[in-house]
Amino acid sequence: MRRAVIFDLDGTLIDSAPDIHAAANMVLQGEGLPRISPDQARGFVGRGARVFVERMEHAVMGGNEPARTAHLHARFLYFYERAHEHTKIYPHVPEMLAELRAKGLALGLCTNKPMRPTLAVLAHLGWDGVFDVVIGGDSLDVAKPDPAPLLAVVTGLGLTLPDIVYIGDSETDAETAERAGARFGLYTQGYRKTPVEQMYHHFRFDDYRQMSGQLFQPS
């Protein structure tokens, strides 16, 4: 039986918040606007670049104006695609991915990060070709927590929901999995703000060396 593990990216496999913070402040500095803090940037992550920018704009301006939001979004995407200097892979992730491959599992990626920044950071990390199917935040007309992106990865892998496990770190990922009816593993060291006990999940872990043994075990 062919099976797969599908991952979120930011906050799950990589800690990209420092670079997202830097990109945001490059935009704000260029516009003569107040900067945001690292904690603010981390808190704004999860619903895609557009929502990040809306949250950033609201924090510094006290509201959103459509034309200004569109301008800030375009500027943010420019810097976001090039922001890799401070991004770190979480401990033991490379070994974990290699182990899954060695076991014959397919790998998918389902992220709300737009595709161009996604592909850019994968190339920067040397992860070209690691994932069999990649769906970004702008690949479809909807993004997570709508289940459609996750289901698109499942379909692209030629599998069905009972054949996959989805791994993520956030409330958005948990809601996506719940709405899809997918088995969900929660990485607890990412960007979530809600207590673990209040989040949908079938298993949880704080170290990737703990993950593989739980993937397809009964909950």
- Per-residue confidence (pLDDT) for residue 180, from 0 to 100: 98
To the query of whether residue 8 is one of the catalytic residues in this protein, the response is yes
Please give the share of the chain, as a percent, with pLDDT higher than 90. Answer: 79
Q: What is the fold, at CATH topology level, of the domain defined by 4-15+88-214? A: Rossmann fold (3.40.50)
Rg of the chain over all Cα atoms, to the nearest angstrom: 17
The per-residue pLDDT for 217 is 78
Alpha-carbon gap, residue 189 to 167, rounded angstroms: 12
Q: How far apart are CA 84 and CA 125, in angstroms?
A: 9
Over residues 106-152, the pLDDT tens digits come to 999 999 998 998 999 999 999 999 999 999 999 999 999 999 999 99
**Of 112, 119, 111, whose CA–CA distance to 53 is shortest?**
112
Within 10 angstroms of residue 63's Cβ, the number of other Cβ atoms is 8
Q: Residue 219: what pLDDT?
A: 59
Give residue limits of the domains in the chain. 4-15+88-214, 17-80
Those residues with Cβ within 8 angstroms of residue 191's Cβ, 6 or more apart along the chain or in another chain:
10, 11, 17, 42, 43, 45, 46, 169, 170
Q: According to the model, what pLDDT value does residue 84 have?
A: 84
Q: Give Cβ neighbours of residue 33 (< 8 Å, ≥ 6 apart).
A: 60, 61
Section 49-68 average pLDDT: 91
Of 1 and 158, the one with more pLDDT: 158
pLDDT at 62 over 80: yes
Residue 205's beta-bridge partner residues? 187
- Domain 17-80 in the same topology as domain 4-15+88-214: no
State residue 77's pLDDT score.
Answer: 85
> What whole-number percentage of the chain has pLDDT above 70?
99
Q: What is the pLDDT of residue 179?
A: 98
Residues 165-189, mean pLDDT to the nearest whole number: 97
pLDDT exceeds cutoff 90 at 4: yes
As a whole number, the mean pLDDT across the chain is: 93
* 107 membership: H or E segment, kind and range: strand 106-110
Per-residue pLDDT of 73-110, as tens digits, reads 999 888 888 888 889 999 999 999 999 999 999 999 99
The length of the chain in residues reads 219
pTM recorded for the entire structure: 0.87
What are the structure tokens assigned to 106, written together?
């397919």
- The CATH number fitting domain 17-80, selected from 1.10.645.10, 2.60.120.1310, 3.90.180.10, 1.10.150.240: 1.10.150.240
Q: What is the pLDDT of residue 149?
A: 98
Catalytic residue among 8, 10, 15, 173: 8
| Amino acid residing at 43 | G
